[in-house]
Amino acid sequence: MLPTIAWRGRSVIMIDQRKLPGQEIYVRCRTYIQVAQAIEKMVVRGAPAIGIAAAYGLVLGTLALTAETGRSLDRDFEKVYKRLERTRPTARNLFWALERMRAVYERTRSEGLRVMRAALLDEARAIECEDAETNRAIGQHGQALLGDGWTVLTHCNAGALATAEYGTALGIIRAAVAAGKSIKVFADETRPFLQGARLTVWELDRDGIPVVLITDGMAGWFMRRGEIQAVVVGADRIARNGDTANKIGTYSLAVLAKENGVPFFVAAPMSTIDLTLPDGGGIPIEERNPDEVREVGGRLITVPYVEVRNPAFDVTPAAYITAIVTERGVHRPPYEKNLGGR
């Protein structure tokens, strides 16, 4: 299996996540505009994967730069940067990756295009490699939270496809299985984009990890019936106090988990944490195209002109989160104290 995103000869290759699992198609982006569009259209999605894609997108953008130095180089760089930055507003990792890339640009901009480009490519590769290592660490820390024989509910896809590889929430599940535990996964289908039905089921099936598909409205009922021992999800942005933006539906799961005494775990790299935000109130929530709700797989399911709301994320207050797992370990409340410091 190719990784989710790969740099291959002056282009970025991505598996088209809109087409899975029906078709395994790879898309080649040769320009930063193509990368930006791939992020917007969700060819690639998942907070860490978006960050990696944007980093490589920036490399592609600098390949087309012509001004050698000075203000016109800065202006051209800024244009590429801004285009990639405005693709999706919620995931912290996008901005985090772009900021890392900008620091390298600023360090090398006076050394000529060749040096600068090589340094940027190295940095993008580092972001990708570190993410893979980070996920292994998240998996190791987090797997200790899961008991042998547990059924674990997950929402959306926080797996290999959302990251460089291995995954955050699914990384914890993979590590638990690798540690010899018998784990069964309930996957919410996750309307409207169906990341659960399409991506999480596909990933876990390929790994031979038992997975059961349910619709989003069923999760609470299975918690109530005692069939789920833990919930593990990813994150798109985590505020200093632990409030967590993640795929729409996550907040509901957290409330239902608390009501039923089921532990609720968030798995994310440190790059998802936004220390500039005191709480989740300041996290921008993307509202996407209403046709995502009106249609499934391009086919209309309702009255064509019906009004729709389509927030792609919600914010789960920290009070509902049992622990946040990063590459540094398992963080417990109060998150303000146990998460923020470096």
Q: Which of 120/170 has CB closer to its own copies?
A: 170
Q: Which of 132, 144, 218, 330 binds its own copies (CB under 8 A)?
A: 218
Q: How far is CA 284 from CA 9, 239, 271, 321, in A?
A: 35, 12, 17, 20
220 near its own copies, judged by CB under 8 A: yes
Contact 138, 239 (CB under 8 A): no
Of residues 26 and 221, the one with the C-beta less far from its own copies: 221
Q: Which of 113, 137, 308, 330 binds its own copies (CB under 8 A)?
A: 308
Q: Could you say whether residue 219 binds its own copies (CB under 8 A)?
A: yes
Contact flag: residue 167 with its own copies (CB under 8 A): no
Q: Is 275 in the site for its own copies (CB under 8 A)?
A: no
Residue of 207, 216, 279, 286 interacting with its own copies (CB under 8 A):
216
Q: How far is the CB of 204 from its own copies (least distance, A)?
A: 9
Q: How many residues does the chain have?
A: 342
Q: How far apart are CA 336 and CA 334, in angstroms?
A: 5
Minimum CB distance to its own copies smaller for 66 or for 305: 305
* 231 touching its own copies, by CB under 8 A: no
Report the nearest approach of its own copies to the CB of residue 46 (Å): 17
| Candidate segments 1-9, 34-42, 192-200, 323-331, binder of its own copies by CB under 8 A | 192-200
Q: How far is the CB of 26 from its own copies (least distance, A)?
A: 19
Pick left, alpha or beta for residue 83 (phi over 0 → left; psi -120 to 50 → alpha; otherwise beta).
Answer: alpha
Element (DSSP H or E) covering residue 143: helix 113-143
Q: Site for its own copies (CB under 8 A): how many residues?
A: 53
236 classed as catalytic: yes
Residue 1 in the binding site for its own copies (CB under 8 A)? no
Dihedral angle, C-alpha 142, 240, 253, 38, nearest 10 °: -90
Q: What does the alpha-carbon distance between residue 71 and residue 77 come to, in Å, rounded to a whole number?
A: 10
Q: What phi-psi label fits residue 10: left (phi over 0), alpha (psi between -120 and 50 degrees) or beta? A: left
How far apart CA 233 and CA 172 sit, in angstroms, is 10
Contact between 50 and its own copies per CB under 8 A: no
- Under rule CB under 8 A, residue 300 binds its own copies: yes
43 lines the binding site for its own copies (CB under 8 A): no
Out of 76, 188, 216, 236, pick the active-site residue. Answer: 236
What's 111's DSSP letter?
G
- Can you spell out the DSSP letters for 151-193? EEEE-S--SGGGSSSS-SHHHHHHHHHHTT---EEEEE--TTT
Strand-strand pairing, 26-29 and 12-15: antiparallel
Q: Is 32 in the site for its own copies (CB under 8 A)?
A: no
Tell whether residue 294 is a contact of its own copies (CB under 8 A). Answer: yes
Nearer to its own copies, 37 or 252 (CB): 252
Residue 252 in contact with its own copies, rule: CB under 8 A: yes
211 lines the binding site for its own copies (CB under 8 A): yes
Cα separation, 199 vs 204, whole angstroms: 9
Residue from 188, 243, 274, 327 binding its own copies (CB under 8 A):
188
Q: Is residue 301 within the footprint of its own copies (CB under 8 A)? A: yes
Maximum Cα interatomic distance, the chain, rounded to a whole number of Å: 65
Buried b vs exposed e over 277-290: b needs ≥16 C-beta within 10 Å?
beebeebebbebee
Query: What residues make contact with its own copies under the rule CB under 8 A?
Result: 21-22, 155, 186, 188-192, 194, 197-198, 201-202, 205, 210-222, 224, 247-249, 251-252, 255-256, 259, 293-294, 296-297, 299-303, 306-311, 314
- Enzyme catalytic residues: 236
